[in-house]
Structure 1
Amino acid sequence: MGFEKKEYEFLREIALDSTNTGCFINGQWKATGSVVTSVNPSNNQTIAKVTEATIQDYEEGLQACSEAVKTWMAIPAPKRGEIVRQIGEALRSKLEHLGRLVSLEMGKILPEGIGEVQEIIDMCDYAVGLSRQLNGSIIPSERPNHMMFEVWNPLGIVGVITAFNFPCAVLGWNACIALVCGNCVVWKGAPTTPLITIAVTKLVAEVLEKNNLPGAIFTSFCGGAEIGQAISKDSRIPLVSFTGSSKVGLMVQRTVNERFGKCLLELSGNNAIIVMDDADIKLAVRSILFAAVGTAGQRCTSCRRLFLHESISQNVMDQLVGVYKQVKIGDSLEKGTLVGPLHTRASRENFEKGISIIKSQAWKILVGGSVIESEGNFVQPTIVEISQDAPVVKEELFGPVLYVIKFQTLEQAIEMNNSVSQGLSSSIFTSRPEAIFKWIGPLGSDCGIVNVNIPTNGAEIGGAFGGEKATGGGREAGSDSWKQYMRRSTCTINYGSELPLAQGINFG
């Protein structure tokens, strides 16, 4: 078994073994479901085995979580922030090991794996400060001797369903904020990254135990679609945060809406970079490379479409093809690797299907366009010269495939940027103020993330993360995203002896 290999010895440092129990329920590790195998996408060999949750396990976990809510809500927010601070310290102590696990099990290169774990740590730090700033507003009352203000209270339980491409960072965006807001968390990690789910949960569990708090405050499940469906249907969970495809996200939204629950959706992206005729070409090429091939094109913010002003298009393409040919593809844990494998065999097959469609329509492949024959799920980063009207441009091929399209005017480029159903991230490279301010204004990009002279990916936690249209409209991490995890009450107190009515109504 792969877990016994010398290079995997670090897994014992984060409390993993060759066989693992995949559910943390009411402060205990237990699971009665099927046994699945965690696989290294660099060679498709077994890392370890995990026992998944059943619906019975889920129900036991939710009952305990529903009781734990009463304890957690009653703790003052700054004290909850202290617990999240300790979680951040626990993660920080295992940063290198957890980052290596992300690379091993998901397939992203080691610097990205470590960076992902750092993102949760940063979210913990952010949430600690936020725990003292969950402020409402004082609202002037039109009635004498009346005080009107807003009070924010916890929702109760927040369900978090995460995807394979960011198997722990997205948990951090949600859980850190949800916890300081006074909510318990129920986490279903991606089925193909169960070891990350277990390793992170174990660190959280240790902090709760050390502080004599109910373990059910943080409940986690390794499992498949049936656990996700149970979370979506469960009226005990007022808010469900889901990260994944637009197709599945729409099903989750419908299910949650049917019970009048709230949804926070982070779905597909079909992100574009515009390079204007006055752009810093060297800066643009570096940014495009990272945006298009980082995480092997498996970020929701990866650049899929590249719009080049016709006057500089050949220059950009020549430089871009040159750097693509120098990219080192290989094992995600090997030093110097820039592009690791796709996450699964199915992902590689999907890449092959996409390339077949491109070839069948006679579009020009400038570089790449093939799978790499090996034990792993490696493919060549690919650049395709194509028409904006090609149907494949409208869909998100979740891999390192970049479509290049020429344009003549800024207005034309903006129209092309906005022409797809997704609306997550976008970027323009220019130095002209009039172009910049049109791009970020009402007649510019229709995305939730609108950048200038930086890539489409690599968002900071301080801003609200999310997108419009088929991307789902959710916002996570910074800014005022915390408001989604709480319920707002508008409170009015009459401290006088009269009963004046609003709008000057006289009721006798």
Structure 2
Amino acid sequence: MTLTKTALAPEVAAIMGRLGVSADRYTGGTLAVTSPVNGEKIADAAQISSGDASDVIAKSHQAFLAWRLVPAPKRGELIRLFGEELRAHKADLGRLVSIEVGKITSEGLGEVQEMIDICDFAVGLSRQLYGLTIATERADHRMMETWHPLGVVGIISAFNFPVAVWAWNAALALVAGNACVWKPSEKTPLTAIAAHAIFDKALKRFVAEGGQAPAALSQLLIGGRDVGEVLVDDPKVALVSATGSTAMGRIVGPKLAARFARAILELGGNNAAIVCPTADLDLTLRGVAFAAMGTAGQRCTTLRRLFVHDSVYDQLVPRLIKAYGSVTIGNPLETGTLVGPLIDKGSFDRMQKALADAKANGGTVHGGDRVHEADAPNAYYVRPALVEMPAQCGPVEHETFAPILYVMKYSNFDDALELNNAVPQGLSSSIFTNNMREAEAFVSARGSDCGIANVNIGPSGAEIGGAFGGEKETGGGRESGSDAWKGYMRRATNTINYGASLPLAQGVKFDVE
């Protein structure tokens, strides 16, 4: 491992320079930024005060008033240009994601590809914001629904997907006619600054080519919790889409409800998979390993609970344990690494506590130990942990944002379905089976109660075309594809009288002479 010899700050400065970001945005500020790759401080980002944040939101509201008048296909042209700029700067932004978050190279680049994909989706969507024509009981009348921009959309993103989640929201919100204000995680300000610089390039091109767009159309708030609270509390913010922990969601949700604002909450997911007797075990092994260990277990769609039928348990689990022991853990910037670091010491400590609790509840732990401590004492690399549990209890019922997979036996399919649904979290789920009845039951009304229910693929790997969300603990919320755009717009029903009379209640007359 070449960790202590790697100087990342100069590379960060070079990337920022190529993206046109001035040094005062990430040097000399009060927010220290460290890389989980080796614990090195790579920047001191400038932060905004809560008072200035209110001014930013006010400017965003004024931008919305202008942008809502731009025809939707023209708004889509801006997002098309944004997609072009992302393609041009994919390598730099993907590399910065890896440096700031610790994702392996393919995952850093893959996150930027998701941004590109949602731009493609949103460009087409800009010509498809359809409303219905509705049959009416009145003669010489027509009834229809129309969709209109909502207002200022606040976006709060988490560290684990520092740029893709913003793009999922912003691309749809902007083609819908809204203005955006983005508050990224305090752990990942650099990727936010970089992504926003790329958007600014697209905005300048759009205006230079004759487009009409206000400068404050999309804005960035770098700061702490107090800045996030301003975004949540400001009455000019019509919708807040927040991604993060359930603890954060329990604070944000009630505040938005108190002022009747909209919320899209994408929070934790204690995701499960069921392995049935007919499952293709080679396919299952690959699917489980990727879903459970990818991104060092720091995905909201990470596989955390695995229910294996007792007839195949002894065939699958030893192979999984072997895979866990042989996976390459190390510098995510180096070729061949499959598992990078945890984001920080807090994540490591929470992982170790969960493993201790699992042992106290009768679990057998394989892996979970810290590695490369001598090479990188300020970074936190761990071997992914597979924990054989006697039952779904203790830490299994709570999400730990780390690479821990709890494995349990089952013998009855209906019992496995019940276990899948027995935790309050419900973002994603999957089943591995070649039995059509089991597969269909899993995706039916009596099956998985999660927002995502997959067959013969892990719970992770969501695509842009399908809306992401439906987490049951928070009442749901959908972003990205499908009809998620409706969440960023308001609907009106219109009745048009093209006749000469107005239907009145029987016997009602007016003397108009």
Counterpart Cα distance in 1 of 2:506 and 2:224: 57
Show the 5 A alignment for 1:44-443: 44-212=39-207, 213-365=213-365, 367-372=366-371, 373=373, 374-375=376-377, 376-443=379-446
Name the CA shift for 1:46/1:89 in 2 (closer, same or farther; >3 Å).
Answer: same
Counterpart Cα distance in 1 of 2:412 and 2:33: 49
Name the CA shift for 1:2/1:506 in 2 (closer, same or farther; >3 Å).
Answer: farther
* Selected match of 1:474 from 477, 486, 500: 477
Counterpart Cα distance in 2 of 1:364 and 1:399: 17
1:497 has 2:500 as partner: yes
Shift of 1:420: 0.2
Aligned-CA RMSD value: 1.7
In structure 1, list runs of 5 or more residues that go unmatched: 23-32
Counterpart Cα distance in 1 of 2:76 and 2:470: 28
Greater mean deviation of Cα atoms: 102-111 or 1-10: 1-10
Name the CA shift for 1:274/1:4 in 2 (closer, same or farther; >3 Å).
Answer: closer
* Selected match of 1:458 from 458, 461, 469: 461
CA shift digits 1:256-279 (9 cap, x unpaired):
111110001101100001100000
Shift of 1:65: 1.1
Q: What code does the residue aligned with 1:418 have?
A: N
Q: What code does the residue aligned with 2:369 have?
A: S
Shift of 1:356: 2.0
Shift of 1:506: 5.1
Q: SS where residue 68 of structure 2 aligns?
A: helix
1:488 has 2:483 as partner: no
Q: SS where residue 181 of structure 2 aligns?
A: strand
Greater mean deviation of Cα atoms: 167-176 or 372-381: 372-381
Name the CA shift for 1:403/1:4 in 2 (closer, same or farther; >3 Å).
Answer: closer
Q: Check whether the contact 1:18–1:49 (CA below 8 A) recurs between aligned residues.
A: no
1:13 has 2:12 as partner: no
Shift of 1:422: 0.5
Name the CA shift for 1:505/1:82 in 2 (closer, same or farther; >3 Å).
Answer: farther
In structure 2, list runs of 5 or more residues that go unmatched: 1-5, 208-212
Q: In percent, how many aligned pairs have the same letter?
A: 45
Shift of 1:86: 0.3
Counterpart Cα distance in 2 of 1:319 and 1:389: 22
Name the CA shift for 1:333/1:498 in 2 (closer, same or farther; >3 Å).
Answer: same
Q: Check whether the contact 2:91–2:109 (CA below 8 A) recurs between aligned residues.
A: yes
Counterpart Cα distance in 2 of 1:404 and 1:461: 30
Shift of 1:71: 1.6
CA shift digits 1:306-354 (9 cap, x unpaired):
0000000011111111111111001111111100000112111111221
CA shift digits 1:242-289 (9 cap, x unpaired):
001112112101001111100011011000011000000000000000
Q: What code does the residue aligned with 1:290 have?
A: F
Counterpart Cα distance in 1 of 2:105 and 2:13: 14
Moved over 6 A (4+): none
Q: Check whether the contact 1:116–1:166 (CA below 8 A) recurs between aligned residues.
A: yes
Counterpart Cα distance in 2 of 1:97 and 1:130: 28
Q: SS where residue 354 of structure 1 aligns?
A: helix
Q: SS where residue 252 of structure 1 aligns?
A: helix
TM-score by structure 1 length?
0.94
Q: Check whether the contact 2:391–2:408 (CA below 8 A) recurs between aligned residues.
A: yes
Shift of 1:63: 1.7
Shift of 1:117: 0.5
TM-score by structure 2 length?
0.93
Q: SS where residue 237 of structure 2 aligns?
A: coil
